[in-house]
């Protein structure tokens, strides 16, 4: 399946908070054999969030939105989701009755228990505002622990597909292996091949749904290294 991840928050755009949520979700989905082909960060603005959702649902099999489900003035994600899907916002009585047991602020309880009509509630075991799923969209809290708790539940809805990943680590610069790497990329268009410079080595990653092709691409690359094989740290 093709996924789009939308993370919401002015604090992400200002750099005050590192966007660890997107990395967490993308890695989990990729390991399950799915493809995350776009990650977008948008401000706490109804129009901006709504536009991104409208675009994402046209291009992806499933969309995940994280952030903006709290009780403060800048938590506007639910309003944006409702606008994008042309849904009314309603108070989920089950969530309302649960939250009022430990939150005394009536306004906060009403806001966090409000969801687009027809949403499936995904309970948040480590925080207040629940996640929810509606049509082909999942909406999660932005606090990392709460996102992880609800995301792991939503993840169970998706089939685990075949996925293979092979890594080669070597003492080299990209310029030294560029020609060889490009030959493998050309010969294996069905394998995702990435080059990642690290502080003390270069990592080449081969991945894809067909384990035979992934391993074959790695073998081809190792064969082409020739006199550089002494520089291989892992492979």
H-helix or E-strand spanning residue 52 = helix 46-59
pLDDT averaged over every residue in the chain: 95
Nearest to 121 by CA among 145, 141, 143: 141
Map out the domains of the chain as residue ranges.
Answer: 2-155, 164-234
Report the pLDDT value the prediction gives residue 208, as an integer from 0 to 100. Answer: 92
Mean local confidence (pLDDT), 185-210: 94
Report the pLDDT value the prediction gives residue 235, as an integer from 0 to 100. Answer: 75
- Class assignment of domain 164-234? alpha beta
State how far the Cα of 147 lies from the Cα of 116, in Å rounded to an integer.
Answer: 19
Interval 93-131: pLDDT, tens: 999 999 999 999 999 999 999 999 999 999 999 999 999
Interval 42-91: pLDDT, tens: 999 999 999 999 999 999 999 999 999 999 999 999 999 999 999 999 99
CATH topology agreement for domains 2-155 and 164-234: no
Per the CB < 8 A criterion, the answer to whether 70 and 139 are in contact is no
Interval 9-44: pLDDT, tens: 999 999 999 999 999 999 999 999 999 999 999 999
CATH number of 2-155: 3.40.980.10
């Amino acid at each position: 399946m093709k996924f789009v991840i939308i993370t919401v928050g002015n604090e992400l755009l200002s750099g005050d908070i590192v966007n660890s949520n997107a990395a967490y979700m993308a890695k989990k989905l990729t390991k399950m054999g799915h493809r995350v082909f776009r990650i977008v960060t948008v401000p706490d603005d109804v129009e901006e969030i709504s536009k991104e959702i409208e675009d994402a649902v046209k291009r992806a099999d499933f969309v995940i939105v994280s952030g903006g489900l709290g009780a403060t003035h800048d938590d506007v994600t639910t309003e944006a989701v409702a606008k994008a899907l042309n849904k009314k916002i309603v108070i989920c009585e089950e969530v309302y009755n649960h939250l009022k047991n430990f939150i005394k602020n009536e306004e906060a309880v009403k806001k966090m228990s409000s969801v687009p009509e027809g949403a499936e509630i995904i309970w948040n075991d480590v925080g207040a505002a629940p996640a929810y799923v509606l049509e082909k969209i999942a909406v999660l809290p932005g606090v990392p622990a709460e996102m992880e708790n609800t995301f792991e539940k939503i993840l169970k809805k998706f089939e685990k597909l075949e996925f293979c990943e092979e890594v080669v680590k070597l003492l080299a610069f990209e310029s030294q292996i560029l020609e060889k790497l490009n030959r493998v990329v050309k010969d294996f268009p069905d394998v995702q091949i990435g080059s990642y410079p690290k502080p003390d080595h270069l990592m080449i990653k081969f991945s894809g749904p067909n384990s035979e092709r992934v391993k074959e691409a790695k073998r081809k690359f190792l064969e082409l290294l020739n006199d550089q094989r002494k520089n291989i740290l892992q492979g």
